[in-house]
Amino acid sequence: MNICIIGTGYVGSVTAACLAELGHGVLCIDVDAEKVDRVNAGIPPIHEAGLEELFQKHIGKRLRAVADYTPLADSDISFICVGTPSAKDGEIDLSAIKAASRDIGTSLRKEDRQRHSSSENYHVIAVKSTVVPETARNVMVPIIEKYSQKKAGRDFGIVVNPEFLREGRAVHDFTNPDRIVIGELDKRSGEVVAQLYEGFGCPLIRTDLKTAEMIKYASNAFLATKISFANDIGNICKELGIDTYDVMHAVGLDRRISPSFLRAGAGFGGSCFPKDVQALIHKAEELGYRPKLLRSVMDVNEGQPKRIVRMLERKLGGLAGMKIAILGLAFKNDTDDVRESRAIPVIKMLTDKGAKVFAYDPAANENMHSVFPNIRYHSSAKDALKDADACLVMTEWDEFKKLDGEFKVMKNRIVIDGRKVITPRKDIDYEGLCW
Ligand code: UDX
């Protein structure tokens, strides 16, 4: 098939590369000409394991990029993969979705090909961006119909086909999904997109538009709930001198629960969980329901960085003038992404209290510099630890598991571990956040 991908972030570029690998002709459309040039040079716009190889293999053959929407109408499917960040008070920001809907509508209007309403000539829009329930039907369809002067379900189709990709593992997750979800306006749209996923060998759910939108939010909200549950239990265990990891390991052996997403610590960050849970809370309250559990999931998560700083203050007596090393800035290991990283509220509290922050992350120094330009960044853990009064570990990088003698360069060897990655040693004053 001929496929357009709108938006070349981690979802768009991974979807593009993996569909090209499946043998489809893929055209990335991005209004950012620089991103278009990078894609056409075979350079993925983001770092994802396995992505560069796929770009190198398919660029100029099955995969290319353009900066305008003209060719879209001649494709079979266009995937919308633009961002849906948080607006004020957690509401979803649909500006990129609305802009893409306008551009798609305009492109469909211009197409001069006589389009029949038969499935082989039936352009289908597939929404991969995470949008709150009722967005596809009530926001996107009216805009596309207005700008195309065409009718959804007759002249073009629309489905919601959410992604379940983890940053850093997105190529793996695309090719090994637990399930495919297709919410369809009409059966014909669903058939066209379902063809793409033949042979994936996992359950394929065919449903309606808003159910598919809700499946995505409920999935992310539940994963975030598991993490906050582990942290609530962890905070109780901490007061009892119990290692939460011993508890949650045994809890996770219950096949109804599963061991994943039960790692207690500094909490969840990233471009998805915080914004998606907030957007679902906002949507619920717009509908007149107060989602008490989801609000608590966010409260627990926002409390973890505060607990780390309070633990540090108890150990040091005060923070003004203290030199604090922060090991780990990315929101999780194996990425350079600092969006909603739990290190951000920690650094903010430390600097507000007059501490001097010395940071190190194997990949995220540069990205965090744009958030906090006035703290010191180092190129190794040892350099960041030099003469430090204390150290906070905020990201579960594998290399931190190997730290040993490096702590000897600290002035005070106080180490508060927010991710259970440091091996306690006799010569350091080690404190675990929930263990
Ligand atoms: C998540 C979902 O996993 C993915 O399915 C969805 O499509 C996008 O959002 P991602 O945000 O890339 O993926 O990261 P993930 O690996 O899920 O981790 C999210 C955050 O939770 C990280 O900050 C991580 O450190 C934290 N986390 C994860 C925990 O604190 N404990 C855990 O047990 C697991």
Q: Residue 194: in which H helix or E strand, if any?
A: helix 187-196
Nearest atom (ligand 1) to Cα of 164: 7
The size of the chain, in residues, is: 435
pLDDT at site 91: 94
Q: Identify the H or E element spanning 206.
A: strand 204-207
pLDDT of residue 46: 84
Q: What would the DSSP string read from start to end of 49-103? A: TTHHHHHHHHBTTTEEEESSSGGGGGSSEEEE-----B-GGG-B--HHHHHHHHH
Per-residue pLDDT of 274-332, as tens digits, reads 999 999 999 999 999 999 999 999 999 999 999 999 999 999 999 999 999 999 999 99
pLDDT at 73: 86
Minimal-distance CA residue to ligand 1 atom 27: 268
% pLDDT > 70, the chain: 97
CB 158 within 8 A of CB 125: yes
Q: Is residue 10 within 8 Å of 170, Cβ to Cβ?
A: yes
Catalytic residue check, 81: no
Low-confidence ranges of the chain (pLDDT < 70): 111-121
Q: Is the CB of 227 under 6 A from ligand 1?
A: yes
- Mutating to test ligand 1, I would choose from 47, 86, 215, 223 the residue with most ligand atoms within 8 A of its C-beta, which is 223
Q: What are phi and psi for residue 326, nearest 5 degrees?
A: -110, 115
Which residue's C-alpha comes closest to atom 31 of ligand 1? Answer: 263
pLDDT at 20: 98
Q: What pTM was estimated for this model as a whole?
A: 0.95
Ligand 1, from 272, 275, 396: best to mutate by most atoms within 8 Å of Cβ? 272
CA of 268 to the centre of ligand 1 (A): 6
Is-contact 53 42, C-beta < 8 A? Answer: no
The conformation of residue 420, written as its DSSP 8-state character, comes to: S
Task: Mention every residue, 6+ apart, whose C-beta is less than 8 A from residue 203.
Answer: 178, 179, 180
Shortest-distance Cα residue to atom 25 of ligand 1 = 332
